[in-house]
Structure 1
Amino acid sequence: MAKKKSSSGGVLSQLFNQNGVKAILGVVAAGSFAIAFGQEKIQQFVSNTGSGSNSACLDQFYRDVPPYLMKDSLNKHSYPLCFNGFNVMYSGVSKTPLWVAEALTPSRLSQKIPREDSFHEEERVDRAHRATLSDYKASGYDRGHMAPNADMPNTESQFDSFSLANMVPQAPKNNQKVWRELEEATRAIVTKQKQDVYVVTGPVFAAKKLKTIGNGVIVPTATYKAIYLPKTGTIGAYYAPNDNSLQVKVVSVCYLEEQLGINLFPQLTEEQKRNTYKLPLTAAGVKANTQFAYSHWDAESQCAEDVANDKLNAMQNQFKSAGGSNVSNTNSSTDANSGTGQNSSTQDAIISQLIETLLQYILQLLK
């Protein structure tokens, strides 16, 4: 900043040397204009320059498009949250995520870090809608990750994965056996077959009367994991009852969408989402050079309807501005409220450059 002050000071000196009265009037006019301009335009300018700073958040979605909530009731007290390495649509009604999205790549999964548990409450969620550590204590349910800790490539994303906004109450055997094996199988597809996998994971609330733990955290009746492999077109979803039965089945994405009221992959066609492949249930079921066999075409389930582009764009914009200060993959210090991705020092620099430019312009007029 010292260099910029010296430059501005040099301009002011030239102004006074050339024409003192005009210079003073010019400086006053410039200052007034800069202040007025700053009050009205600086935020817009900063927002425009920072609008792409949170675009990395969209990388977790297939073709940058988030899943879309088709039911109005699901939108009540919902929070779009961008984390390091995954994104969440959190519900303040269930106090769980409705869906969690990840983009898994060979490069990402090549990074291995030791697990460090750091379960914590999500402070970006209003206290009244927030799941707490005490809600899960002695509940008989695990704090079940939707985006697994083992998917995370660095300490920042690992810490984020332990947010309770990424958790659902999960039956112990479902979490520790069935779900763990499905997570391992999904990672094996990426690492063994060297292909990207887009994943959407979450809870199913299918019963008329739902159980709760703690202060109103709703226990899901099942958990799901929908996956899409763009390289081969392979698609399908795992569906596991949230109990200790160790049951799991592979279903179509349309089957899930009908139950959930969510368009899980808005950029895919209905024809694609009706296809179902024989997805592996364990990592051992993944072979390096063998594609997954086709299973069946789901002609019965009701796929989610297509979503208009303006609604998808609006949802994208919500995630662009939902980063929060803990998101480092945007390479910026993000303001969770404004979503500009710019900090105060950046704004000061822009204002300084604006004033200097105006002074230079006035000098040219006085010559």
Structure 2
Amino acid sequence: MCSSIVAFLLLLSRFDRRVLGELDQDFSKCRDFFYKKTPPKVLNAAGHQPICQRFENQYRFASFYHRQHRTPLYSAYIISSSDGKRPNSSWMYEPQLTFSHAGPEMEPFDTPADQNVIESQAVLQDYKNSNYTKGHLNPSMHQKTREDRVATFTLTNIVPQRAGSNSGPWNSLEKQVLRKFKAFCEGPMYVITGAMPYANGTRWIRNRVSIPEYMWSAYCCPSYKAKLPRDVRPLFPTYAAVGRNDCDSGEEIVPVNPKARLSLRGYDVRKMPLETLESILAQRLAMSISLFDGQCQ
């Protein structure tokens, strides 16, 4: 009898790992969203959970989610030109962060949210009256189909972002990257966008959701036009940027433009080579990080 129970428990543990599905350790179900199917090399990333973001039975992008901070370190996706407007979509959550036996599809929040969901990840109530907007890492404007755009409205793709950044300089950067893709890329453009925590200790919304001091993004376009304008050549095959999410932060990473409009001042974006971004991330995150295999060469 005891041997039968042990055998059953071993079988059950293997079954639980199998049905965990998209919550694996190496993005095995959604590696197409990374250059050469290779996720960033991130050392000492304890507490982070790879998520293959799935909506309507199709993988849409990938996120590297920190369970304790209830925010992603980054989201990775392939950019495309939108064929429609920003959807008026319901916000969704990741059931598999709540229950190991849950289905792999993101789902709309219940009202009120289930307590198990609240304990496992960020929920809409966290952002209510917080003075922070829900900042997309994979923005809907970078996705072609309506389904792809709707899929970006999951809180596992969101970080607390100041309105001055979200609708200001960071929004301008997202539009610029899209224009570069359409004008100069002759193949897929791989994008990884993430959040950078404060250096002097984590800051929180409601002691639950960590607030980034900076936003960052990098792209890899391995196939681009042979004859690039002289001023565009340094921007390929890779380029990167860091944006301020705190107008009172120091200027050692992103200087403040004194000529910027008062409402946008302090939310500046600094553009830089990929290597510079990786160096900044390595220092701030205290871990080695390589975003694109072989530097997208």
Q: 1:206 to 1:178 in 2, by over 3 A?
A: same
**Which of 255, 271, 275 is equivalent to 2:279?**
255
Q: Give the Å deviation of 1:229.
A: 1.8
Correspondence 1:234 to 2:225: no
Q: Give the Å deviation of 1:185.
A: 0.7
Aligned match of 1:267: 293
**Which of 87, 93, 111 is equivalent to 2:68?**
93
Q: 1:229 to 1:75 in 2, by over 3 A?
A: same
Aligned match of 1:214: 206
Task: Supply the AA of the counterpart residue of 2:180.
Answer: I
Aligned match of 2:8: none
Q: In structure 2, how many angstroms separate the alpha carbons of the residues matched to 1:262 and 1:103?
A: 24
Q: In structure 1, how many angstroms separate the alpha carbons of the residues matched to 2:141 and 2:155?
A: 16
Q: Retained in 1: the 8 A contact 2:185–2:223?
A: no
TM-score by length of 2: 0.65
Correspondence 1:204 to 2:177: no
Q: 1:86 to 1:168 in 2, by over 3 A?
A: same
Q: Give the Å deviation of 1:179.
A: 1.2
Secondary structure at the residue paired with 2:293? coil
Q: Retained in 2: the 8 A contact 1:135–1:215?
A: no
Task: Supply the AA of the counterpart residue of 2:218.
Answer: A
Aligned match of 1:68: 41
Secondary structure at the residue paired with 2:294? coil
Aligned match of 2:84: 112
Q: 1:214 to 1:156 in 2, by over 3 A?
A: farther
**Which of 164, 167, 175 is equivalent to 1:184?**
175
Quick check: which has more Rg, 1 or 2?
1
Question: Deviation digits for residues 294-317 of structure 1, max 9, x if unmatched?
Answer: xxxxxxxxxxxxxxxxxxxxxxxx
Q: Retained in 1: the 8 A contact 2:202–2:210?
A: yes
Q: Retained in 1: the 8 A contact 2:222–2:237?
A: yes
Q: In structure 2, how many angstroms separate the alpha carbons of the residues matched to 1:194 and 1:235?
A: 11
Secondary structure at the residue paired with 2:135? strand
Q: 1:223 to 1:253 in 2, by over 3 A?
A: same
Question: Deviation digits for residues 34-84 of structure 1, max 9, x if unmatched?
Answer: xxxxx9xxx9xx99xxxxxx977222100111113211xx32252433344
Q: Which ranges of structure 2 fall in alignment gaps of 5 or more residues?
A: 1-10, 20-26, 99-116, 225-235, 248-265
TM-score by length of 1: 0.54
Q: Retained in 1: the 8 A contact 2:281–2:289?
A: yes
Task: Supply the AA of the counterpart residue of 1:201.
Answer: T
Q: In structure 1, how many angstroms separate the alpha carbons of the residues matched to 2:155 and 2:143?
A: 16
**Which of 131, 134, 137 is equivalent to 2:122?**
131
Q: Which has the higher strand share?
A: 2
Q: Which ranges of structure 1 fall in alignment gaps of 5 or more residues?
A: 1-38, 48-53, 274-367
Secondary structure at the residue paired with 1:109? coil
Aligned match of 1:146: 137
Q: In structure 2, how many angstroms separate the alpha carbons of the residues matched to 1:262 and 1:115?
A: 37
Aligned match of 1:9: none
Q: In percent, how many aligned pairs have the same letter? A: 25
Aligned residues: 217
Q: In structure 2, how many angstroms separate the alpha carbons of the residues matched to 1:95 and 1:101?
A: 17
Q: In structure 2, how many angstroms separate the alpha carbons of the residues matched to 1:121 and 1:215?
A: 19
Secondary structure at the residue paired with 1:117? coil
Secondary structure at the residue paired with 1:208? coil
Q: Which has the higher helix share?
A: 1
Question: Deviation digits for residues 187-213 of structure 1, max 9, x if unmatched?
Answer: 111112243321110100132222200
Task: Supply the AA of the counterpart residue of 2:179.
Answer: A
Tell me how large the CA RMSD over aligned residues is: 2.7
Q: Retained in 2: the 8 A contact 1:204–1:224?
A: yes
Q: Retained in 1: the 8 A contact 2:84–2:146?
A: no
Correspondence 1:166 to 2:157: yes
Q: Give the Å deviation of 1:109.
A: 1.5
Q: Retained in 2: the 8 A contact 1:257–1:264?
A: no
**Which of 60, 74, 77 is equivalent to 1:102?**
77
Task: Supply the AA of the counterpart residue of 2:279.
Answer: Y
Question: Deviation digits for residues 69-114 of structure 1, max 9, x if unmatched?
Answer: 211xx3225243334431101110211001110112xxx3153344
Task: Supply the AA of the counterpart residue of 1:234.
Answer: P
Relative contact order higher in (CA < 8 Å, ≥ 6 apart):
1
What are the residue-to-residue correspondences of 1:72-83 with 2, within 5 Å? 74-76=45-47, 78-83=49-54
Q: In structure 2, how many angstroms separate the alpha carbons of the residues matched to 1:228 and 1:155?
A: 24
